[in-house]
Amino acid sequence: MQIISSKIKKIFASFSAATYIMVVGRHINTAITTILNAKRVTGAATVVAFLMLTTARVAHCATSTRTFVPASHPAVRYIGRFDKRHPKDVRFDWPGVVIETRFEGAYCDILLRGDGGLYDVSIDNAAAVRRFDTLTALHHLADGLTDSIHTLRIVKRTEGIRGQIVTLNGFYLDAGRKLSPPIGAVPARRIEFIGGSNLLGFGVEADTIWCDTPANYSNASLSFGAVTARETGAEYRVLAVSGKGLVRNWMSPYFAATRPFGPLYRLAVKNDPTAVWNFKSWVPQVVVVCFGTNDFSTLPYPTKALFVNNYLKFLDELRLRYRDVQIVCVTSAREPVRGYVREMVERERGTGDGKIHFYSFGDVSKKQCGCDWHPNAAAHEKIGKELASIVEPLF
């Protein structure tokens, strides 16, 4: 690249390996600001060159002094929908997914391309919230630990930047060390939660309805679905997209959206239409469906017939995927959604389908709301425990 002068090359070469590792581990905006201020380097092209050289330098340092374990290693447990078509890398983008493993030694980094979202990273049950940017980089997780076996758990808290997919390449450990499988079995009970932003814990950690950046206050692990799963001792998966409905999406100007939720349900990675999910790989005993809020968010509302017919088609797909599944249809107190869904469930039960159920949670007061009038953690806790009393007998 002609834009990189010999002077700039000398600047890059002057950085130590430790400086490179420190820079890449930080948020990229901070990294750029630090380097530009320190060395008075200007120009967008130079910044790009810096990022390319930095990543290469860090990768070289890590591989020369550490042991690399690919993401496909059998000692890594993946809970949720992941795309494992690549022989070594693992891709994902559904919120609420979990990565678990154990590592030997005092050091652990991950090589990962993020989606701009937030993650809970726990090492030996000590948790920290991390944001992984949309750049393949080495992310420092631990150093200076006791020379023993440590647990690692990564949970995707939120949706990422629209259209972005996370790629986990692998783990860097102390030289000669290895990964070990997590201790303990995954629960035999399984629940799948399908819907919109409420199941994502949208704005759940906020103490006001007015949030500048709702994603910073969102946490799928605090949603009523996660609460229900913990109350019933079940493994769970969340397949939800904020703003999506079965007919209309949030504030859509049309009676029916061109891209509603339905087609996304069939994907292992919702932002890649080629990543088709294998439904036989994980079969739940209970599926909780929560749609309607986005469909009836604003005018023009879909007709009752259109909404109910699309809902029934989606239920038929669930029965086709999971033959003996118990289905719980959940709504808020909002009308006409609650009335439409309750009537639909009663009609289905009247035809002899005893495996479909209805639950509606009550009005959520402003004091129990987080961002944009979504339920806060206390409200989700209450809803989740009520729902658990319905789900428990279904196992």
What is the band of 343 on the pLDDT scale with cuts at 50, 70, 90?
Answer: very high
Residues 139 and 21 in one domain: no
3-state secondary structure of 328: strand
- pLDDT of amino acid 64: 60
What is the band of 292 on the pLDDT scale with cuts at 50, 70, 90?
Answer: very high
Q: How many domains does the chain have?
A: 3
* Each residue's pLDDT tens digit, 54-101: 444 444 454 568 999 999 999 999 999 999 999 899 999 999 999 999
- pLDDT of amino acid 56: 43
Would you say residue 358 lies in a domain? yes
Contacts of 113 (CB under 8 A, 6+ apart): 132, 134, 135, 136, 137, 166, 167, 169
Would you say residue 387 lies in a domain? yes
Long-range CB contacts (within 8 A, 24+) of 265-268: 265/194, 265/239, 265/314, 265/317, 267/81, 268/81, 268/82, 268/83, 268/92
Q: Which of 180, 209, 233 is the last residue of a domain?
A: 180
Average pLDDT, the chain: 88
Residues 200 and 75 in one domain: no
Q: Which of 17, 44, 64 is the last residue of a domain?
A: 64
Residues 86 and 59 in one domain: no
Between CA 228 and CA 221 the distance in angstroms is 11
Name the β-bridge partners of 267. Answer: 276
The whole domain housing 308 covers: 190-394
- Of the candidates 72, 71, 73, 91, the residue with the CA atom closest to the CA atom of residue 82: 91
Residues 147 and 220 in one domain: no
Q: Is the dihedral of CA 9, 12, 15, 16 positive or negative?
A: negative
CATH code where residue 353 lies: 3.40.50.1110
Would you say residue 185 lies in a domain? no
- pLDDT of amino acid 300: 94
Structure tokens at 375: 């339920």
- pLDDT of amino acid 197: 96
C-alpha torsion angle, residues 46, 50, 56, 62 (rounded to 10): 180
- pLDDT of amino acid 39: 39
Residues 175 and 195 in one domain: no
Would you say residue 1 lies in a domain? no
Residues 236 and 360 in one domain: yes
Residues 271 and 331 in one domain: yes
Q: pLDDT at residue 233 above 70? A: yes
Residues 56 and 88 in one domain: no
Q: Which of 127, 159, 180 is the last residue of a domain?
A: 180
* Each residue's pLDDT tens digit, 166-210: 999 999 999 999 999 999 999 999 999 999 999 999 999 999 999
What is the band of 52 on the pLDDT scale with cuts at 50, 70, 90?
Answer: very low
* pTM of the model as a whole: 0.85
3-state secondary structure of 347: helix
- pLDDT of amino acid 298: 92
Q: Is 290 exposed, middle or buried (0-12, 13-18, 19+ CB in 10 A)?
A: buried
- DSSP line for 209-234: S--S-GGGG--GGGSHHHHHHHHHT-
| Contact present, 70 and 169 (Cβ < 8 Å) | yes
Would you say residue 111 lies in a domain? yes
